[in-house]
Amino acid sequence: MSFGDPNNPYGQQPPQGGQPYGYPQQPQGQPGYGYPQQPPQGVPPQPGYGYPQQPGQHYPGQQYPGYPAPHQQTYGGMPPYAHWGQRFLATLVDGLVLMVAYLPLVVGAAIGNDSAAAILGLITFVAIVGVAIWMLVQEGRTGQTIGKKALGIRLLRESDGQPLGVGMAFVRRLAHFLDSIACYLGWLWPLWDSKKQTFADKVCSSVVVKG
């Protein structure tokens, strides 16, 4: 028997096309190892690692297409300024709230008893101071007193749109002296001012906005 005889069960045929012994033959039409594979029909191609995503496309891990990722906030600018009528009505409501604190004093005067009037007068003083301090703290922390909340307006810093803080809100209360000293012109200044500010607002860099 000669080598390569088909009748020899131990004979081996030489490989076709120069393929060395011991390597598997690749089927026709199939890519070898390390070659990119084509996606099945009807399945869109996926971007490779490190490739930028195209605008408007939605990929896994992105919550909503076309929107910023979570925890990314953008500052859209200062809200519209509150007009003079809203500010006046808010101040009026705050004044009415303080007037309620005078009720014990009114009751004491109606009774006519000196000792009872003295006790009710002390209660009135504590109530007025307590309400005034509470509204000052609320205005500094949230930008709203009872009147401002009722009218839907808020006191904010002009620089970053955040509440003034309790200390600066107290300074602004003192700065209202400038609004009154010039024949109360500062209280009317928001009627024609571009930022609707009083003199106290300009000194403290504060604005009153809607919302």
Q: In sequence order, which residues have a C-beta less than 8 Å from that of residue 120 and are 6 or more positions away?
A: 104, 105, 107, 108, 111
Q: Which range marks the domain in which residue 94 is found?
A: 84-210
Number of domains forming the structure of the chain: 1
pLDDT at 170: 96
Is position 98 within any domain?
yes
Q: CB atoms < 10 A from the CB of 161, how many?
A: 16
Is position 54 within any domain?
no
Q: CA 14 to CA 19: how far, in whole Å? A: 9
Is position 44 within any domain?
no
Is position 35 within any domain?
no
Q: Mean pLDDT across the chain, nearest whole number?
A: 76
Half-sphere exposure of 36 (CA within 13 A, CB side): 6
Per-residue model confidence as pLDDT tens digits over 69-85: 433 333 447 789 999 99
Is position 172 within any domain?
yes
Cβ contact 109:195 at 8 Å: no
Q: In sequence order, which residues have a C-beta less than 8 Å from that of residue 180 and are 6 or more positions away?
A: 186, 187
Is position 128 within any domain?
yes
Q: 45: helix, coil or strand?
A: coil
Start-to-end CA span in the chain (Å): 102
Number of helices (H), then strands (E), in the chain:
7, 2
Is position 185 within any domain?
yes
Does 36 score more than 70 pLDDT?
Answer: no
Q: CA 52 to CA 59: how far, in whole Å? A: 11
Per-residue model confidence as pLDDT tens digits over 160-207: 999 999 999 999 999 999 999 988 999 999 999 999 999 999 999 999
Does 10 score more than 80 pLDDT?
Answer: no
Average of per-residue pLDDT across 112-141 = 87
Give the DSSP H/E element, type plus range, for residue 171. Answer: helix 166-181
Is position 49 within any domain?
no
For residue 114, what are its two tokens? 């000196």
Q: Give the highest mean pLDDT range of 6-20, 116-130, 146-160.
A: 146-160
Q: 8: helix, coil or strand?
A: coil
pTM for the model stands at 0.59
